[in-house]
Structure 1
Amino acid sequence: MYNIDFTTPRWLIIYYHSVSFTSIILNSLGFYLTTFECQKMNKYRYYLLSFQICCTITDTHLSFLMQPIPFYPILAGYIEGVLKYVLESPVEIAMDILFVIVILNIESFFLCTHFKHQSLATILMQHIFPKWYDLSIYIICAVAPIIGGIWFFLLMPTKKEQWEYIIEAYPDYLDDFQSLAHFTIFRKSIGMIFFFLFLLGGISGLLFLLTLYLIDIFRMMSILKTKISKSNYKKHHDGVRSIQVSIATSAVAVICPSFIVVIVLFDVGNAQLLTELAVAVVGTHGSINVICMLVFFPPYRDFMRKSFKKKKHRIIEANSAVVTM
């Protein structure tokens, strides 16, 4: 029998509230900087903005609206966020929304890379994809979240099926589940295993494509360095740098859900704390992305440098005025 703690982990709730507050500040700054400090990047900044929007929605949904509390290795859990007060079936709907958001997050980053690759390819007139390929990419990105969301929702058991499963598989925890105002529990079925395997396959295929894109992007950038003006090269270099930064931060949005999928598939025991940590880290994706962009992305970094210089100059002027008086 598993050792499951049904009490609400206070550290996790405090963490969610802290991340939610921090996320509002950092993601608002990210919106502002992408909108007003990246205008030289032309159309690419709209792809960058879409990625920022997806990161913000992910953070807000996880740390404020949802606040999930998992019971793994039992495939069950409940939520403590705002949605539990406004939805009739809060856990099921919140989980489905989260799944769709994660897909959108991955897709938005992929489209950023795809657009930057094609903008470089157009300049060099090589490796330009045919229109049908571009169209198919956008169609797949539009359809995948819908199909994934519907498929995942159909896997969710009814309340009657959930109680029957608890009585059958976890009778010792019946009183604990009855004490919860709401929860969802899944039975590990062939359909669910197939779904998660399909999900891992899709993520793996996407990562393979991204790797090919990035290798070609770095190759084309080395060629462009001697063929275009410094200002034009810097614009493309900044765009590639944003992709490099996002690769590191996107690992949070990809590796953590993949980690949860792996422990579900391979039935890793005593992993309740591990899943809590994995879910908690995903909720910081947008904040981590903005912080890393402030450090490594030139337009963001230049803005912060100018802001600090202005502040320092005002402080010096104020101190001078005091000394004069």
Structure 2
Amino acid sequence: MIAAEPQSREQIEIHVRYLMAASGITSIIVNLYGIYLLIYYHGSMDSYRFHLLYFQMTCLIFDVYFSHFMVPIPLFPITGGYSIGILGRLFRLPTHYQMVAALWFLGNTITCIFVSLLKRHQAVAKIEQKNRMHQIMVKFSILSSNTAPVIGTFIYALSEPDNYMKRIILSNKFPNSLWVLDIPTVVIYDISFKTNPMFTCIVYSVFGGSALIMISYNILYFQLFVMLNSVKTKISQKNYKKHFTAVINTILQNLVFFIFYVIPAIILFLVIYFEFDATYTSIFMIFAFSVHSTANAIVVIATFPTFRRAFKISRFAR
């Protein structure tokens, strides 16, 4: 297989530009409305709203950055790509370093969900007087989850092969696609400990870290629902609904992440593995990534009653 030829690549760029422009503008409108609700219509929500506010602001910045400043174009089946956004066209910033910022934002959103879930778990555990973690363990979990994206992006920043190694990678695997090296801001990787060890470590670490996070989520969610059922008669209905709604919100946020990040990546992997044309699959994946925060903002508005009421009031006022 070879990467898309220049003419086909221009068509891909046009499709991606339109999709990213539409998703970026939509993201700004929906996320700003969600942030407005979190600031002025939080009602009786506890400190969880600050996690939501930070989460939505991070998602908004990521979407604007991804959809307007970066605008990535993949070169599948080659592991790599280039960017046609503001940073690439005006400042000629290499795509590799643009990806560093994108990965940090992405890691931060995952961390925010995990920390908010952990704190919710401990708040309910305090009421039930069971399953309470030692304070040192809680602080260590929060510190490690915040440190992981920083370490990961730092290692990734050092993982780009030099031009000589890029040519070797293409010559060995895609000899008919050497022309991609002439594309400005292009980046090429290889999942191989021999030719690209640091990038390969990052890939395997992501898989291992994702498995660890999934196990942690399942344990915390299971214990949370057991504890909520146990304390239901010990706390007021209002307090119970507050905790229950927050738990449902984190579940839906994780579901959004799975639908808009994990599933498109799995589909793309299968398409490439079975050697089908990955052109439109990669466009779909990029678009799915860019609308992630919009879906999250909709989840926040739909989950909490105070936001639903505010939304109905604003509609009625118009």
User: TM-score w.r.t. structure 1 length?
Assistant: 0.86
Distance in structure 1 (CA, Å) of the matches to 2:273 and 2:37: 43
Pair 1:299-2:306 in alignment? yes
1:34 is matched with 38
Cα deviation digits, residues 100-138 of structure 1 (max 9, x gap): 221111111111111111111111111111011111112
Cα deviation digits, residues 259-305 of structure 1 (max 9, x gap): 38956996855334323321220111110111233333322211112
Residue 39 of structure 1 deviates from its aligned partner by 4.5
Contact 1:96 1:149 in 2 (8 A): yes
Residue 99 of structure 1 deviates from its aligned partner by 1.6
Distance in structure 2 (CA, Å) of the matches to 1:107 and 1:264: 30
Contact 1:294 1:301 in 2 (8 A): yes
1:204 is matched with 211
Contact 2:2 2:176 in 1 (8 A): no
Q: Which of the residues 125, 128, 136 maps onto 1:124?
A: 128
2:4 is matched with 4
2:186 is matched with 183
Q: Which of the residues 229, 241, 244 maps onto 1:237?
A: 244
Larger mean Cα displacement after TM superposition, 261-270 or 3-12: 261-270
Contact 1:256 1:281 in 2 (8 A): no
SS at match of 1:173: helix
Distance in structure 2 (CA, Å) of the matches to 1:237 and 1:16: 35
SS at match of 1:155: coil
SS at match of 2:184: coil
Distance in structure 2 (CA, Å) of the matches to 1:80 and 1:260: 24
Contact 2:264 2:284 in 1 (8 A): no
1:274 is matched with 281
Contact 1:26 1:290 in 2 (8 A): yes
1:18 is matched with 22
Question: Which has the higher Rg, Structure 1 or Structure 2?
Answer: 1
User: TM-score w.r.t. structure 2 length?
Assistant: 0.88
Aligned-residue Cα RMSD (Å) equals 2.4
Cα pair distance change 1:246/1:63, threshold 3 Å? same
Distance in structure 2 (CA, Å) of the matches to 1:240 and 1:66: 34
Give 1:110-259 correspondences, 5 Å limit.
110-167=114-171, 169-178=173-182, 180-190=183-193, 191=197, 192-252=199-259, 254-256=261-263, 259=266
Pair 1:56-2:63 in alignment? no
Larger mean Cα displacement after TM superposition, 59-68 or 160-169: 160-169
Cα pair distance change 1:197/1:255, threshold 3 Å? same
Pair 1:283-2:286 in alignment? no
> Which residue type is aligned with residue 315 of structure 2?
F
Cα pair distance change 1:99/1:202, threshold 3 Å? same
Pair 1:81-2:88 in alignment? no
Unmatched segments (≥5 aa) in structure 1: 312-325
Distance in structure 1 (CA, Å) of the matches to 2:109 and 2:307: 21
1:98 is matched with 102
Larger mean Cα displacement after TM superposition, 183-192 or 147-156: 183-192
Distance in structure 2 (CA, Å) of the matches to 1:114 and 1:298: 23
Cα deviation digits, residues 132-180 of structure 1 (max 9, x gap): 11111122122211210111122111234324444554343334542x2
Cα pair distance change 1:164/1:193, threshold 3 Å? closer
Cα pair distance change 1:27/1:143, threshold 3 Å? same
Contact 2:3 2:177 in 1 (8 A): no
SS at match of 1:189: coil
Distance in structure 2 (CA, Å) of the matches to 1:204 and 1:230: 35
Unmatched segments (≥5 aa) in structure 2: none
